[in-house]
Structures are given as structure tokens and as C-alpha cells.
A and B are shown apart, each in its own frame.
Chain A
């Protein structure tokens, strides 16, 4: 008996073993935001799914098909059976593919993470769309909403082909996203969230569009612990602007203070909009992020 040939790798983003594990997981949003179209997610409202939910008194005008005749036979009173309503949920992947994400494998972590969320969405029959922001004023790379396992390869190709360049800030990317997107669900934002703009506005727009923000902030190790002992001229990778600092070691405490403050603000903004926030280092393996940090924090189940 010949041994089985190894299964070919589906994508360079995630290993087959990770994909196998992802098949058994699904995104666990804080709220339940779904679209009216039928789907696999139970909505808060009563529906026509096969899953029984409750009984209620019959009132004239109700559809007699949902009268429980067995109870009517025993009690001589008509009761109406109610069923859960299952609606469709959108999983929007917003990937920051600006030049700043090229640093120290930030984009290389952002892409598999986004792919993992896309895979979970597709495997759970959710509508998955993806956006990647690059240049200010330019149209974002966009993967139209798709559903089902058959679209996994399309999703992988879209994400694999992303390259980091441009200077688009995140809030502009949100604007571009919402110009095309329709539907409620979650918006997985993978970015470093280092923007001069007003992030709060972007989160508000997402919230009002019915998308729960799931923010994943990826920072490189040197961003978390900068090595700026002496005088330096810092150059912004996106705008090429420069900033001179003297005695950089003196400023590290302040830097950490501001970095922590940004994390806290982002976490607060996400939490207030029924979302989640997770800061990770680009040096962290994707498996560790997915199956350790995110599972422990209830991002996926």
C-alpha cells in the first residue's frame, strides 16, 4: 500500500494545518450584526429557519401554516410556533498596505491574519470582502464580496498579491471602503494604526454602517522598543518627512507613554463600538496570534 502523497499547499499565507484548524473555528463578534438576507447567523428577530424558538398566541391574520396543531388538538386553542431567523453576516477585511506596513514583516503578518479571518468567513458561509489601502486619492485594491469555500483561492490570490506601498492613512481607507460596501457584519482592520488623521471618525463611520470594528494593530519590535540612543534624523517611510531628535534615549519613556496611550485609545474606540482590539508584534507567529491570543480573548471560537 503506497503512502498518501502530501496534500499540496493551498496558499503561501497559511499552512494547511492552520487551514484545517480554521475550518473548525468561526469569528465570534461581540454584537450580532447581520444583513437581512438569509444566512447562517441567527438574528434577534423571529424567522423562518428550521430551529424552533418559541410559542405565541395566535392572532387573526397569522399564517396558519405555523399553527401547532398537536397543541391545538390537546388544548383546543391555537398557538403559533416561532423559529429563529438566520441572517447573513459580512466579513470585511481592511488591510493597511501602505509603505509603513513593509517594515519588519508587519505586512507579512497582516496578510495571513486577514486571510485567516477571510477563510473563517468563507467556511462559515459569510460574505467576505477585502480592501487594501495604498495611495492617497487612489482606488483601493478591492475583492468584491464572495461566499463559500470556492472563493478561498480568489481570496488568497487577492491577499498574496498585495504589496506595501503608498501613504494612504487608515481613515481614508475606511472612507473608500464604505463607498463600496453594503451589509452588516464585522470589519477586520489590520493596520499599525499610525495615522495623523482622525481615527475616531473612521470607527464611527464603520459603526454606523453596521460593521463591528475588529482592530488588529501590528507594530514591529523596533516600534515597540525603539533604539534611538543619540541624535537622529527620523524619516517617515510614507511621506519622507524628517524629524530631528536629540538625546533620543531621553524621549523613550515619553514615546512608550504615547504608544500605550494610542493602544488604549484604539481599544476604547473599538470597545465602545462593540468591537475588539488586539495589539500584536510583527515578530509573533501567526499561529500564536490566531490560536492563542485571539482564542483566549474570544475573538474566534
Chain B
């Protein structure tokens, strides 16, 4: 077994310094001269066999011996010996550090977080980094970040390690491994070190092409957290707020759940969570204007993860859905009349229809320019699809439809007669539509009949045949279809249901077009953001749970909350074995990865100690060596 070695054997030439050392010792030894009457007695003393015994010789040349030992220790230190810590030494070693929300969990009250434990172990590796070894630090939560390239610059690595912080998001190991795999193409390596608590799916869709050393961190303490928060408009006009509390496998006990509305406590309830069970709660709140809700969970006992103890939800103001349908689409207007809380434009008594709408349903292409969150075009091909679809008059029939699509729920389309015939142009196909972001909901004989496209700010449906040229308005499913569209519009407008924002990225925010804003994070960091032509600010990173303030010229324009709401992160579950493609399995290492222990510092300390001893013996000790 190989116990260690030297990192810099080339420094062995330093041993040749022994020659001048010995030479100079004898040539340059500055002995004080002492004239004495006669050397008779001293010569007899030095010829005594006791003086010439090896030990006495050693003592007589103690200074030389100490100097030789000193030089040997210095040369040994220069050779950079090490005590082998791990089973092998890799020249390049990517180190993956999980910094997802669960890594912030503590093992005991006042204890260290999982990330702190991982950083401690990585720091030990950095401290023991040999001159020929290079580390590449990569942190990952839901996205991987390459913090350093392959380097043995310890200062750089330590600084990068210090920058790793817990992000209140779930981890995505697959993305991290893909980044590592990409790294390996330019700088090959054999092994990858993974520090994680194992809080990721046990199966990863990845073709493992390198050895993965999975260092699973010790489990954290018990944890309770909010895993879901949503609200639905109640029939009474208010909102029903749904809260789900879950815990880690070993978590049980009581806690209090408090609901704050615009900062004011509205309700406080006690709950008891059994081991492995979820607790669901419903709060009722009633408000005509938009409100901001915060649900705070306060466990009675030790809670290892604080990030999931609060959740935030913004409820819009209660109002009727504004729907624009031209009077020519009589069947739609007729179907809408049976639905409550709808303002239908233009009204029957006039033609006035101005402002923004929540839903536009029209068979006139020009109506698609009306500002609306949800649009349904009827009987014409949207301009961006005209390259791929053309509208004929040979008639068509429904081949299939997406029965699980919300807009087609409970809608029976079999035997539907369609006089129009939307059909793909030459060389066009469904893939072209998908490239444009469209999803085909109803397939016709020669082309799609209904497509859906979800943009960042709007939802678009396109019926590529005119319903008036079909039997659809005469079918039972038509009013259901219209109501489904209305429901989609309600959801798009946030009037029917509100979901708490999850961490990761903030939802698109509608602000002033081309406005410049500062986003203040819960960690009091500020980022700049600019609204697009439609006033949409999107892609704002939200790595931490809490309120994000949108500031315009220093004044708060809006405040959005982001919550962890991840059952897997709250559960703090850690997989002991990761399964990759081709049934390749990697189990958590049973042996803590150990770095090579450099010995040069110890050798230098010994050399320094030897120097002090030498100095003390020959300079300071009264009476010299006894």
C-alpha cells in the first residue's frame, strides 16, 4: 500500500548542499583560541576510548549533526512530502457543491448548516491541495455555476468557496452533471466529487461518463415547512387560502400558523403534524382590493430549515372579467350571457369598447390588436402561422383532440362537421408550429383546427375554422368550451386563482414600458431591470425566499413575494444511491473523502524547533551541553 510520496522530487538536488555544509563546517568553524600551558592532558583526554565512542563523537560534533539534520528537514520540506489521505490522487478534480435550500438546514440548534459542513470539507481539500493538483469548484442549485476553472490557486479557490451561499430553490443535479461533462471535453478528468445532502430525485437522466464520488452529508435535524400556498375565489366573493404544511421524515409536533394580510395578523391557528403526514389548512379572506398575504409557520420545537417557514401570496382586486366579443359572433355572446361576473363588450346598447380586456374573442383579425391577456381568434389564420397553414373550403373533420387540455375539458368533438379546411402548406408540419410555440389542441384531417400559444404576457387560442361554418355552436359542448376559455382568461388575469410565487425566478411583472427599475432582494442586494416594449419585466432571479421590492427612482413601485414551496426540500430527504441511465448506480461513499496531508509545514516546524534548540544549547544554556 502506498502511504505517501513526494510532490516535488525534482528538489532532491538540494541534498547536494550537504557537501558545502560539511565543508564549511570544518573550514569555517570559528573556534575561539585558548592558549594553555600544555596539551599533554587534553591530548590524553581526546585519545581516551570513551571520548571516541560513537556517542561521544556524536556529542562532540553535535553542532554539525544538528545542522545536517536541519538541512535534511529543509530539503524534505522542499520535496513536499505528503501523507496519502485518499485512495488515489487526481490531477484534475471537479468539485460539485450542492447549495440548494435543503443545504441550509442545521443539524442541531445553533449547529452548522449542511452547506457549512460541505464547505469545511472542501476547504480541507483546498488546504491540502498539492502543487500538481487542480480543483474546479462548481456550485449548483437549480442551475449550476462554475465558480473557478481548474486551478490550484488556493486563495482563488477559498474566495470562490466563500461565495457559495444557500439558494432557496430545489437542486438540479442533472444540469450540474451536464456542465461537468462539458468541462471534461476541454480538460479531461477521471473523477468528480459531489458534496450534497442527497436532496434530489433518485433517478437522474444522465449518461455518466466519469467516476462520481458522492459524498453524502450527514442528515439535518427535523423540519416543518410550508409546501403549498394558493387561493381560489370563493363563491361568496372572497378568497379561500389553502396552506399545506409538511415535514421531514423525523419531524413531528405542533406549530402555529399565522396569516398576515398586508402586514396585519388575520388568523392564527395551531396545528399538529404527525410523522410523514401533511397538514392542510384553509383560511378565508375577503377584500375588494389587491392584498398581500404572508403565512408564517412557527414550529414549537427545533426547526432545521427556516427558509420554508414563510410563504407569500398576492391576491388581485376582485372585479368582473372584461370580455370583448364582436356582435357578429352571436353564438359566443349568447354563451357568455350565462356566465356570472362578466362584462361583455361591446354592450348590446352601444358599440363602445375601449381600454384593456381580459379576454378577446373575435373573427376579425384587426381585433387581435386589442390589448388583452387572453385572445381567441376564430376563423382566420394568425399572421405568424400563415406560412405553414392555409385555409381551404373543402371541409374537414376532427381526427383527435387533447382531452386533457383545460380548454377542451368536457367538450365532445366527435362527428363535428367543419366546412372550412385548414391545412398545412407544402413541407410544413406540426413541428413548425411547435417551433413557434404553438400547441395543437384539435387535429383536423389536413391540419390543426385549434392551437394554443402561451406567451409571457398573454394566452392565445386560435380556432383555425370559423365556428359559424361548423356544427360546433349547435352542440352541447360549445357553451362548455366558451366557459373553459373564460376560465382560462380568469386564470390568466389572476382573478380565479392565485398561486404563490416560487423562488427561482419572479413571474413576469407588468410595469411601465421601457421603465428602468431596481429589484431589491430579501438579502438587501439590488439588481437593475428594464421593462420591454409591453412593460414586462421578466427573468428576475429570485434565489432567496422573501419579498422582492421593485423600486423606481428609489420609490417602491411594487412588492412581490417568493416562497420556497418545495415538498422535496422541506422533506430534507436524501437519496443514498443515485441511479443514472443504463441502470448505472452510484451509492453514497461510506468513507469521507480525505485529502493528502502535506507534511512540509510540520517539517518546517521541526526544522525551526531544531534551530531554536541549537541556538539554546550553544548560546543560551548556562554551562553548555551537560
Which A positions have Cβ atoms within 8 angstroms of B? 99-101, 103, 106, 192, 194-196, 220, 222-223, 226, 228-239, 241-251, 254-255, 258-259, 262
From A100, A192, A258, name the one whose CB has the most chain B CB atoms within 10 angstroms: A258
Partner of A232 from B32, B37, B45 at Cβ < 8 Å: B32
Say yes or no: A228-B35 contact (C-beta < 8 A), given A247-B625, A255-B41, A255-B45: no
> What is the distance, in angstroms, from B54's C-beta to the closest C-beta of chain A?
14
Q: Does B43 contact A (CB under 8 A)?
A: yes
Q: Does B436 contact A (CB under 8 A)?
A: no
> What is the distance, in angstroms, from A257's C-beta to the closest C-beta of chain B?
8
Which B positions have Cβ atoms within 8 angstroms of A? 29, 31-46, 48, 50-51, 56, 59-63, 618, 623-626
Using Cβ atoms and an 8 Å threshold, which residues of chain A touch B51?
251, 254
Say yes or no: A245-B42 contact (C-beta < 8 A), given A231-B63, A250-B625: yes
Using Cβ atoms and an 8 Å threshold, which residues of chain A touch B42?
234, 243, 245, 251, 255
Using Cβ atoms and an 8 Å threshold, which residues of chain B touch A238?
37-38
Using Cβ atoms and an 8 Å threshold, which residues of chain B touch A254?
45, 48, 50-51
Say yes or no: A194-B37 contact (C-beta < 8 A), given A230-B618, A244-B31: yes
Other 4 A-B pairs with CB < 8 A, given A247-B59, A262-B41: A100-B37, A250-B59, A258-B41, A258-B48
Q: Are B35 and A235 in contact (CB under 8 A)?
A: yes
Q: Are A249 and B623 in contact (CB under 8 A)?
A: yes
Q: Are A192 and B62 in contact (CB under 8 A)?
A: no
Q: Are A246 and B626 in contact (CB under 8 A)?
A: no
Say yes or no: A103-B63 contact (C-beta < 8 A), given A230-B618, A249-B623, A255-B45: no
Using Cβ atoms and an 8 Å threshold, which residues of chain B touch A99?
37
> What is the distance, in angstroms, from B36's C-beta to the closest C-beta of chain A?
5
Q: Are A232 and B29 in contact (CB under 8 A)?
A: no
Q: Sample 8 A-B pairs with CB under 8 A, ordered by A number.
A: A192-B38, A223-B36, A232-B32, A233-B31, A234-B39, A245-B42, A254-B48, A255-B45
Say yes or no: A192-B37 contact (C-beta < 8 A), given A229-B623, A230-B624, A243-B43: yes
Q: Are A249 and B625 in contact (CB under 8 A)?
A: yes
- Identity of the chain A residue whose Cβ is nearest the Cβ of B37 in the assembled complex: A100
Q: Are A237 and B38 in contact (CB under 8 A)?
A: yes
Partner of A247 from B32, B38, B40, B624 at Cβ < 8 Å: B624
Q: Are A194 and B31 in contact (CB under 8 A)?
A: no
Query: A245 CA to B51 CA in the complex, in Å?
Result: 11
> What is the distance, in angstroms, from B41's C-beta to the closest C-beta of chain A?
5
> What is the distance, in angstroms, from A277's C-beta to the closest C-beta of chain B?
17
Using Cβ atoms and an 8 Å threshold, which residues of chain B touch A103?
36-37
Query: A33 CA to B230 CA in the complex, in Å?
Result: 137
Query: A245 CA to B56 CA in the complex, in Å?
Result: 12
- Identity of the chain B residue whose Cβ is nearest the Cβ of A261 in the assembled complex: B44
Say yes or no: A258-B624 contact (C-beta < 8 A), given A231-B31, A235-B36: no
Q: Are A246 and B61 in contact (CB under 8 A)?
A: yes
- Identity of the chain B residue whose Cβ is nearest the Cβ of A228 in the assembled complex: B34
- Identity of the chain A residue whose Cβ is nearest the Cβ of B40 in the assembled complex: A194
Using Cβ atoms and an 8 Å threshold, which residues of chain A touch B59?
246-247, 250
Q: Are A232 and B34 in contact (CB under 8 A)?
A: yes
Query: A192 CA to B63 CA in the complex, in Å?
Result: 34
- Identity of the chain A residue whose Cβ is nearest the Cβ of B32 in the assembled complex: A232
Q: Are A106 and B35 in contact (CB under 8 A)?
A: no
Query: A235 CA to B63 CA in the complex, in Å?
Result: 22
Q: Are B38 and A258 in contact (CB under 8 A)?
A: no
> What is the distance, in angstroms, from B57's C-beta to the closest C-beta of chain A?
9
Query: A243 CA to B44 CA in the complex, in Å?
Result: 11
Query: A158 CA to B252 CA in the complex, in Å?
Result: 118
Partner of A236 from B36, B44, B60 at Cβ < 8 Å: B36
- Identity of the chain A residue whose Cβ is nearest the Cβ of B621 in the assembled complex: A229
Partner of B60 from A241, A242, A246 at Cβ < 8 Å: A246
Using Cβ atoms and an 8 Å threshold, which residues of chain B touch A236?
35-39
> What is the distance, in angstroms, from A90's C-beta to the closest C-beta of chain B?
29
Query: A26 CA to B175 CA in the complex, in Å?
Result: 119
Say yes or no: A243-B46 contact (C-beta < 8 A), given A229-B623, A233-B32: yes
Using Cβ atoms and an 8 Å threshold, which residues of chain B touch A258?
41, 44-45, 48
Query: A97 CA to B50 CA in the complex, in Å?
Result: 34
Say yes or no: A194-B41 contact (C-beta < 8 A), given A233-B32, A235-B36, A244-B31: yes
Using Cβ atoms and an 8 Å threshold, which residues of chain B touch A239?
39
Query: A262 CA to B45 CA in the complex, in Å?
Result: 12
Query: A194 CA to B45 CA in the complex, in Å?
Result: 14
Using Cβ atoms and an 8 Å threshold, which residues of chain B touch A228?
34
> What is the distance, in angstroms, from B367's C-beta to the closest C-beta of chain A?
109
> What is the distance, in angstroms, from A22's C-beta to the closest C-beta of chain B?
29
Q: Are B40 and A195 in contact (CB under 8 A)?
A: yes
- Identity of the chain B residue whose Cβ is nearest the Cβ of A251 in the assembled complex: B45
- Identity of the chain B residue whose Cβ is nearest the Cβ of A220 in the assembled complex: B37
Q: Are B33 and A246 in contact (CB under 8 A)?
A: no
Using Cβ atoms and an 8 Å threshold, which residues of chain A touch B626?
249-250
> What is the distance, in angstroms, from A280's C-beta to the closest C-beta of chain B?
15
- Identity of the chain A residue whose Cβ is nearest the Cβ of B624 in the assembled complex: A229
> What is the distance, in angstroms, from B39's C-beta to the closest C-beta of chain A?
4
Query: A258 CA to B56 CA in the complex, in Å?
Result: 17
Query: A231 CA to B59 CA in the complex, in Å?
Result: 11
> What is the distance, in angstroms, from A97's C-beta to the closest C-beta of chain B?
13
Query: A192 CA to B37 CA in the complex, in Å?
Result: 9
Q: Are A235 and B50 in contact (CB under 8 A)?
A: no
What 7 A-B pairs have minimum CB-CB distances, sorted nearest first? A100-B37, A194-B38, A246-B60, A233-B31, A229-B624, A194-B40, A236-B39
From B42, B46, B56, name the one whose CB has the most chain A CB atoms within 10 angstroms: B42
